[in-house]
Amino acid sequence: MDLEFIRDVSTVYASFFSFALFMILFESRYPKKKTMTLTLAIVGPLMIVNFAMVFIFGPIKMGTVMLLSCSLPSLIFFWFLSKHRGGRFFFTFCFADTLILEIIYSTTIIDYYIGNTYIFIIISRLIVCPLVCWLAYNYMRKPYISLQNYITKGWYVFTAIALIFYIALSLGMTTPTKITERPEYIPAYVLWLILMPVLYFQIFRTLRHQKNIHELAEKESILNLQVSNITERIEQFSVANEKFRIERHDFRHKLETISTLIKNKEYDELDNLINEYNKSLEETKVKRYCKNAVVDAALAAYIQQAESKSIKVTTALLFPETLPVNDAELATVFANAIENAIHACEKLPEEKRFIRIQVLETPGFMLQISNSFDGNVKFDKNGIPLTDKGDGHGFGTRSTIAFCEKNKAYYEFKSDEDVFIFRVTF
């Protein structure tokens, strides 16, 4: 078997790494185990068949039909497997393909300048292709999937750019003849190879900037929410304080009235008057849920909102003296969870609406919010509820998950017949 044949086989070998790279960067709609099982069952035989065809018909002939025999079937398969089927899917597919093409064509040109021995091509592709996939898995997968979940628009423009590069690279390398047979065009072609990673860098930078804008909008929304809660809580205390000032001013007169009723033995009137005074005192009382002002404000605001919608709210709150996490972030978790519970309860008749809020300080800090709901909920592969508006999870859910991951807390969303439960344990 000569080196030229091995070189052609290495091209096919490198091409299959575009599938591996795509697998690393895309997000499946199914759990990991099912995704791997389906991939091995479909893509595995597809790769074996195409490799066998390389040896039967030769790499050159196979290179002309691999688009139909391998790329198109895998594109269709991953389309059905992918969580995102729009521009995000096509951009990821084009990106994986063009990145591997960059490796194939770059090694071909470098080998041409060092003597056309094919040894450099074979060794470099054997090393670089797996290395790129390893780097993508360890350093790119997580932030890239995060980008896909945050940014839902604008991907088709980036897909068009990636597709144009794919076509330009392929045509420039092979048409009208191989680029190595037209050495005067190689410098211009090299500029294309340099431009492509620069352009991709700018695309990812733009996507990252858009994600930052989304995150800042979320944070601003959360901050406005916290300020609103605290302002409302201050107003509640101000109103209560004014009522108590009036009660204190009238207290001497009330004592004189009580004394007169006792002297005259008018006990029924006395009993009614005391009940009336107790009712007035109750109006000066503001219920406290937590010693921390920020968390207390959030709980008070949303519990009041729930009760105004005829939702029965019960609480069992045992907060530690010192909160183990940032109070503003914890307040936001309560706000998001109770707000979601309110929306769920509003779909039910008033007699079926309830929210239970529980907090334990021992053996570990834990919070649980459960509520009645209509039983209709969908979870993703990680057990996280999906919104019925748009794609993916809402801002509140993402914010809550980010809080839990930051504080290394265990979180759980689950449904038990007609009760939805959200739990966080530190």
Q: What is the pLDDT, as a whole number, of residue 115?
A: 81
For the segment 78-100, the average pLDDT, to the nearest whole number, is 87
Q: What distance in Å separates the CA atoms of residue 135 and residue 103, rounded to the nearest whole number? A: 14
Candidate from 27-41, 139-153, 244-258, 307-321 with smallest mean pLDDT: 244-258
14, pLDDT greater than 90: no
End-to-end CA distance of the chain: 62
For the segment 219-230, the average pLDDT, to the nearest whole number, is 62
User: Reading across the β-sheet that carries 312-317, which strands appear in turn?
Assistant: 312-317, 354-360, 366-372, 419-425, 410-416
Instruction: Please indicate whether residue 221 or residue 158 has the higher confidence score (pLDDT).
Output: 158
338, pLDDT greater than 70: yes
**Are residues 322 and 426 in contact, defined by beta-carbon separation less than 8 angstroms?**
no
CATH code assigned to 287-426: 3.30.565.10
For the segment 248-270, the average pLDDT, to the nearest whole number, is 67
Query: What are the structure tokens assigned to 244, written together?
Result: 């108590």
Q: Which residues pair with 28 in a beta bridge?
A: 82
Q: What distance in Å separates the CA atoms of residue 129 and residue 133, rounded to the nearest whole number? A: 6
Say what percent of the chain tops pLDDT 70. Answer: 80
Phi, psi angles (nearest 5°) of residue 35: -60, -45
Candidate from 48-57, 315-324, 383-392 with smallest mean pLDDT: 383-392
Kindly state the DSSP code that residue 28 receives in the 8-state scheme: B
- 184-210: per-residue pLDDT in tens? 888 888 888 898 889 899 888 888 888
Query: What's the whole-number average pLDDT of the chain?
Result: 80
For the segment 307-320, the average pLDDT, to the nearest whole number, is 90
Q: Specify the pTM.
A: 0.59
For the segment 393-417, the average pLDDT, to the nearest whole number, is 80
Candidate from 197-206, 272-281, 324-333, 358-367 with smallest mean pLDDT: 272-281
For the segment 353-381, the average pLDDT, to the nearest whole number, is 88
What is the band of 353 on the pLDDT scale with cuts at 50, 70, 90?
A: very high
Judging by beta carbons within 10 Å of its beta carbon (0-12, 13-18, 19+), is residue 100 exposed, middle or buried? Answer: buried
Q: What is the pLDDT, as a whole number, of residue 359?
A: 92
Q: What distance in Å separates the CA atoms of residue 227 and residue 246, rounded to the nearest whole number? A: 29
**Are residues 393 and 385 in contact, defined by beta-carbon separation less than 8 angstroms?**
yes
What is the band of 391 on the pLDDT scale with cuts at 50, 70, 90?
A: very low
Would you kindly state where each structural domain of the chain is located, as residue ranges? 3-181, 287-426
Q: What distance in Å separates the CA atoms of residue 215 and residue 87, rounded to the nearest whole number? A: 22
